[in-house]
Amino acid sequence: MTIKHFDCLFVGSVDMDDVGYAGTRINDRRYSAEALARVYDKGEQIAKTMDANGFDTLWLAEHHFQPEGYECIPNNLMFALHLSHLTERLTYGCGFNITPTWHPLRLAEDYALADILSRGRIRFGVGRGYHTREIEVLGSPLRDQEANRDLFEEQVEVIMKALKNESFSHRGEHYTIPPDDVPYRGYTLEEISLVPRPQFRPFECWQPIQSATPRGLDFMVKHEMLGMMGGGSAVTGPTRRMVEAWQEAHERAGIETELGERLCIGLGVYMADSLDEAKARIRLHFEENVKMFAPLRLVPALSDQQMIDIDDPAVAPTVKLPTIDSATRSRGFVCGNADDVISSLKETEAEYPGLERIQITYAVGQHTDDTLEQLERFGREVIPAFGG
């Protein structure tokens, strides 16, 4: 196999200035309602540019209650359906529907309707979430990680039953569907049917892989889910050990896969005429990306003291924190001209022969014009090298 599909992730961030470790503190950022709403116009421009330049899928991230302007898309399905009507061929991925903020049947219904109205151009995905402000406020646990996972796994069970069966019932710790002894038009409910169910795209479900625990991977394989590694909050790319753990989970289920198969790997990418120019241009936005995700414990290499230091603009530039230089060395971020980027991607392709899909990620707050220029350049100079 070879890399066949190139995607992009848009988490819904506003255009930001005064970024980087010495820039405005995360919690001090505030934007007007008008400025926050401009992310949807930004998303439209990104979708149209991708559609015209050979990309396969635009992934969107669901988040809530962020006046700081980092992740401002509360409903992936609604936005994806809108974008599908503005473009010709691009597909849209839910990366991811934060399942603990939903009733699982409402999420399944909304996806099925979006599948029909978009004529099959939306990819389904689920995630457990990582912002206490959104998960706990909307009534589900996150601080208690075991409770969060237990709820999430049962929600996925319900979603899978609803989308894959003509009718179904469910009895679990959190949901009894239908409830016991409910009368309806002369009979007692024993099963229900999801109406509508997906009609256009063969059902697939994506989930992010971060810790790659056997429990989490086995659950994904049991439900025939597809995995997303790296990109977004990741400062480094996925390790080979994580990819091997994914393959081993399939082996435990009696499924033979090539290394990297059934995965999408996310990488930060920034192109310029040289490696040094690319790193210089993206350096501060890369730092802003780390600064935003670190307090959410999504940069696991940082110590407690580094977590404190990164929040102080006077201290952060003087201490050891992740840099664009270290990220390019670990291949979690790819910088340089077309030859540099193609060479790095070819190395990834050779290392993971089952890998068919790459997702490129742009840093939070990166300006719209810069993002569009980067997409056009990647589509023109890199995708054709892989047969796109």
pLDDT at 1: 57
Identify how many contiguous H helices and E strands the chain contains and give both numbers. 12, 14
Q: Write the pLDDT tens digit of every residue in 6-31.
A: 999 999 999 999 999 999 999 999 99
Separation of alpha carbons 13 and 367, rounded Å: 9
Give strand ranges (E) for 239-371: 263-271, 333-336, 357-361
- List CB contacts of 166: < 8 A, sequence separation 6 or more: 193
* pLDDT tens for the chain, residues 1 to 388: 589 999 999 999 999 999 999 999 999 999 999 999 999 999 999 999 999 999 999 999 999 999 999 999 999 999 999 999 999 999 999 999 999 999 999 999 999 999 999 999 999 999 999 999 999 999 999 999 999 999 999 999 999 999 999 999 999 999 999 999 999 999 999 999 999 999 998 899 999 998 899 999 999 999 999 999 988 766 667 889 999 999 999 999 999 999 999 999 999 999 999 999 999 999 999 999 999 998 888 887 788 899 889 999 999 999 999 999 999 998 889 999 999 999 999 999 999 999 999 999 999 999 999 999 999 999 999 999 997 5
Give the containing element (helix H, strand E) for 57.
strand 57-60
* Residue 104 near residue 126 (C-beta atoms within 8 A): no
H or E, element range at 240: helix 240-252
Domain assignments of the chain as residue spans, ordered by start: 5-386
- Look at the pTM and tell me if it is higher than 0.85: yes
Tell me if 290 sits within 8 A of 322, measured CB to CB.
Answer: yes
Query: What is 5-386's CATH number, 3.20.20.30, 3.30.499.10, 3.40.50.300, 3.40.50.880?
Result: 3.20.20.30
Instruction: Specify burial of residue 308 (Cβ count, 10 A radius: 0-12, 13-18, 19+).
Output: middle
